Structure 1
Amino acid sequence: MRISRDKLNKLAHTVADSLAEIPECDFLEDRNTIRQEARKALEKLLLEETKLDAAARQKIASQRKIIVEGSQEWDILYRKYYNDEVKKLGL
């Protein structure tokens, strides 16, 4: 999934702000460093999700039979292959 840089930064700000509101949560670094690390973690997760999506789509495309995206068969195969890729990562 593609998310704009602005939206990713907004999400990271929200994460840092939410953590700051938790009384049991003490920052060892300044809030900007926490925000930057949250953004890096979110970018990494989105990159992994993009790879999973591409792998599932590639498996569908490699079928002998042409399967039209948006069809029920395509949706079922996509979910199956996507979940297979997630399991390979141990998630």
Structure 2
Amino acid sequence: MRISRDKLNKLAHVVADTLAEIPECDFLEDRNTIRQEARKCLEKLLTDEMRIDAAARAKIASQRKIIVEGSQEWAILYRKYYEDEVKKLGIS
């Protein structure tokens, strides 16, 4: 999923602001540094998700039989291949 730079920045601000509201959470860095790190983490997560999605779709496309996207068979294979790719990255 592609998210605009503005939306990603907004999410990072929400993360930093939410953490700041938690009494048990003390920042060792300033809030802007926390926001930037949250943004980096979100970017990496989205990049990984796009890579996993592309790999799962490629595996389905490489099948001998043509499997139509949106069909039940496609959905089952996508879920299986997606989970396999997640396990490869150790993200379970």
**Normalization by structure 1: what TM-score?**
0.96
Runs (4+) of structure 1 exceeding 2 A deviation are none
Q: Give 1:40-59 correspondences, 5 Å limit.
A: 40-59=40-59
Task: For residues 20-53 of structure 1, give each alpha carbon's deviation from its aligned partner in whole angstroms, at most 9, with x where no partner exists.
Answer: 0011111111111110110000000000001100
**Normalization by structure 2: what TM-score?**
0.95
Aligned residue for 1:70?
70
CA RMSD of aligned residues (A): 0.7
How many residue pairs get aligned? The number is 91
Aligned residue for 1:23?
23
Task: For residues 47-76 of structure 1, give each alpha carbon's deviation from its aligned partner in whole angstroms, at most 9, with x where no partner exists.
Answer: 000110000000000000111111111111
Q: Name the SS of the counterpart of 2:65 in structure 1.
A: coil
Q: Name the SS of the counterpart of 1:47 in structure 2.
A: helix
Runs of 5+ consecutive residues of structure 1 not aligned to the other structure:
none
